[in-house]
Structure 1
Amino acid sequence: MTDILRINRGGPTKLSLPREESGLTAAEDLDSRPQNFFEFRDVSKAFDERPVLDHVSFTVKRGETSVIMGRSGVGKSVTLKHIMGFLKADSGRVIIDGEDVTDYTEEQFAEVRRKVTMVFQSGALFDSLTVRENISFPLDGQPGLTADDIDEYVAKIAHMLEVEHVLDKPPSELSTGMKRAVAIGRAFAQNPEAILYDEPTTMVDPLMAGHMGDLILRLKEAFHKTSIVVTHDTHLAKKLADTIVFLQEGRVTYFGPWGGFESSDDPFIVNFRKQDDLIPALDQTL
C-alpha cells in the first residue's frame, strides 16, 4: 500500500504499513524503475488558437529537482496541469514513472495523483479544519496507523516546517507563507513519490521567500523526492535546481544545470536574470 515518513533526529526513516507484494526485493524494484520520473515529449497546447506550449520536451530524473522558469504566461504552470491531468496535450506525450499518461481518463489519473501531489499557490487548505487536522488529513483512516502515529508525524513535520505554534489555528489566521508551509506538510503526509510546487515564493516578502526556499531545500535533502518547482525566482532556482527548464514563448530555450543558465548569453535569459534581481515579482502564471 504505502509508507509514511517518520522523522527522527538522526534523519528520516520509514514507518511501514502493509504493502502489496510485488515479488521483487526492494533493490530489484528500484533497479527496475525508469531513470526519468517525468518526461515531456514534444508537447504542444493552445488556448483559443494561441500556443502556450510549443513542442516542449524535457526530462526530470528520479530523485532530482527540476525548476521551470520564465516570465508570466509562458506556460510554466500549464506544464504542471498536464502532469496532474487537469489539462490534456493537443499533441505530444506526457510520461510519468515510465507510463504514458497522455490519454488517461480521470479515473486513471486518480491513481497518478496518489504518487504525485501538488502544492498550490493558495495552499488549498481546508478552511474548516485546523492546521493540525489539515496536515493529518491524508493519514486519517489509513490501516495500520494509530492516533499516536499520526500525532507523532504531525508534531515532527510541524517542527521541521516551523509551524508548531499554529497547529491549533484555522488557515484563515495564517499568513500566505505559513499556509504554503502547512500545504507542504500535508503533501508530504501523503508520502508521494513526487511533489510539484507552483510558485512557492510568489506574493510573499523577500524574507519569507528565502525562508520558504530553505524549507523546501531541507525537505529535498532529507527525503530526495522527485520535484518540479515552477518559479520566477532565480535565487530559489539556484538553491534548489538540479536542472533548469527555461520557457520563452512556450518553447524550451534552455534545459540543463544552473551553471549553464547562469552563464548563458541568450538575450532572453540575460534579461530575465537582470529583471529578477531588480523587480520583486508578483507573477500570476497560467
Structure 2
Amino acid sequence: MIQFKNLIKRFGDRTVLKGLSLDIREGEILFILGTSGTGKSVLLKNLVGLLRPDEGEIWIDGEEVSRLSEEEYLPVRKKCGMVFQHPALFDSLTIFENVAFGLRRHYRLDEETISLKVKKALSLVHLTGIENKKPAEISYGMQKRVSLARTVALEPRILLFDEPTTGLDPVTTNAVNQLILDLSRTLKTTSLVVSHDMHCALGIADRIVVLDKGEIVALGTPDEMKKSQVPLVRDFLAEVLA
C-alpha cells in the first residue's frame, strides 16, 4: 500500500534520510522508533507532502506521489489523517466545533451529517457529553483524544501519529495506545506511529522499524525485536525488560 524507495532528504549539508526503503502493509500498525533527530517525523511529513524528498520515490496505492503538484497532492492528503504531538485545538471553539472543523473545511455537508460524524468520532475515542465545552475546560489527555476524534471524523485510510503520548502520564499513555489499536482495527486503517516508547510498540504494533541516523537498523515483529542483537534495539529494550 505504501512504499518508500531509496528516500533521501537533506536540510542544507545535513542528510536526514539516507536512501531509506520500506514497504508498509495495508491495515498494519507500524511503529517507527529511533533517537531524536534520526528522521522519524521527517518520514511522515514526506508521506503527506509537507516535505518533499530530494531523491527517491513514495508510492501510495500504486501511485508515485512525491513529484505531484500541490493541487495534485490534495486527494492523497485526504487519504491521510495526522495526529501531532500536541492537540493543537482552537481555544475559542467548542469541542464540537473543533471536531467539525475539518469536515466543514474539506467537504460540503449538511449540518445534520456533520453532527452525526462529530458524535460518532467522539464516541470512538470514548468522549461523550463534552461537545459544548471549550478545550481549557477538559484535561490535556482528553484534549489529545479530541484531536484524535477530529482526525478520524474525516475517515482517513491512513493514520499517522507523531509522538501521540508525549506529555501524558502512564495511565493516559496506555489509554491512548489502546485507542490507537482499537481505532486501527475498527476503522481498518493503516497506522504509522512515530514514538520513543518500545513498551507501547511491543504492546500494539504489528511490526516495528528502528531508525538510526536516517537509516533502518532493524525491522520486524515485536517478538523478533525482543530477540534482536542490534545495539540500539537492545538499548530500547533495556528499559522495558529490566
TM-score, reference length from structure 1 = 0.78
In the alignment, structure 1 residue 115 sits paired with structure 2 residue 79 = yes
Deviations 1:93-128 (CA, angstroms, capped at 9, x unpaired): 111221111212222222211111211112232232
1:228 is aligned, of 189, 192, 212, to 192
2:116 is aligned, of 148, 152, 156, to 152
2:103 is aligned, of 139, 144, 157, to 139
1: distance between equivalents of 2:41 and 2:139? 23
Q: Which residue in 2 is equivalent to 1:81?
A: 45
In the alignment, structure 1 residue 60 sits paired with structure 2 residue 13 = no
2:214 is aligned, of 250, 264, 277, to 250
For the residue of structure 2 that corresponds to 1:166, the secondary structure is coil
In the alignment, structure 1 residue 128 sits paired with structure 2 residue 104 = no
1: distance between equivalents of 2:144 and 2:21? 29
The 8 Å contact of residues 135 and 183 in structure 1, kept in 2 or not, is answered as yes
1: distance between equivalents of 2:153 and 2:131? 15
Q: How does 1:26-65 map to 2 (within 5 A)?
A: 37-65=1-29
2: distance between equivalents of 1:184 and 1:223? 13
For the residue of structure 2 that corresponds to 1:195, the secondary structure is strand
Q: Which residue in 2 is equivalent to 1:29?
A: none
In the alignment, structure 1 residue 237 sits paired with structure 2 residue 201 = yes
1: distance between equivalents of 2:43 and 2:136? 30
Deviations 1:57-88 (CA, angstroms, capped at 9, x unpaired): 11111111211111111111000010111111
Ranges of 4+ aligned residues in structure 1 off by more than 6 Å = none
The verdict on how the C-alpha distance between 1:158 and 1:54 changes in structure 2, with shifts beyond 3 A counting, is same
Q: Which amino acid aligns with 2:14?
A: R
Q: Which amino acid aligns with 1:214?
A: Q
For the residue of structure 2 that corresponds to 1:164, the secondary structure is coil
Q: Which amino acid aligns with 1:173?
A: E
The 8 Å contact of residues 10 and 16 in structure 2, kept in 1 or not, is answered as yes
Q: Which residue in 1 is equivalent to 2:141?
A: 177
2: distance between equivalents of 1:188 and 1:131? 14
Structure 2 gaps of 5+ residues are: none
In the TM superposition, residue 190 of structure 1 has moved relative to its aligned partner by 0.8
2: distance between equivalents of 1:101 and 1:174? 39
1: distance between equivalents of 2:134 and 2:241? 35
TM-score, reference length from structure 2 = 0.92
Among all aligned residue pairs of Structure 1 and Structure 2, give the percentage whose two residues are the same amino acid: 38
In the TM superposition, residue 166 of structure 1 has moved relative to its aligned partner by 2.7
- Please, which moves more after superposition, 200-209 or 267-276? 267-276
In the alignment, structure 1 residue 262 sits paired with structure 2 residue 226 = yes
Q: Which amino acid aligns with 1:135?
A: V
The 8 Å contact of residues 43 and 57 in structure 1, kept in 2 or not, is answered as yes
2: distance between equivalents of 1:168 and 1:262? 46
The 8 Å contact of residues 244 and 256 in structure 1, kept in 2 or not, is answered as yes
Structure 1 gaps of 5+ residues are: 1-36, 279-286
1: distance between equivalents of 2:202 and 2:230? 18
In the alignment, structure 1 residue 216 sits paired with structure 2 residue 180 = yes
The verdict on how the C-alpha distance between 1:124 and 1:97 changes in structure 2, with shifts beyond 3 A counting, is farther
Q: Which amino acid aligns with 1:46?
A: R
Q: Which amino acid aligns with 1:78?
A: V
For the residue of structure 2 that corresponds to 1:45, the secondary structure is strand
2: distance between equivalents of 1:73 and 1:213? 23
In the alignment, structure 1 residue 95 sits paired with structure 2 residue 59 = yes
Q: Which residue in 2 is equivalent to 1:161?
A: 125
Q: Which amino acid aligns with 1:97?
A: D
In the TM superposition, residue 171 of structure 1 has moved relative to its aligned partner by 2.1
For the residue of structure 2 that corresponds to 1:113, the secondary structure is helix
In the TM superposition, residue 248 of structure 1 has moved relative to its aligned partner by 0.9
In the alignment, structure 1 residue 274 sits paired with structure 2 residue 207 = no
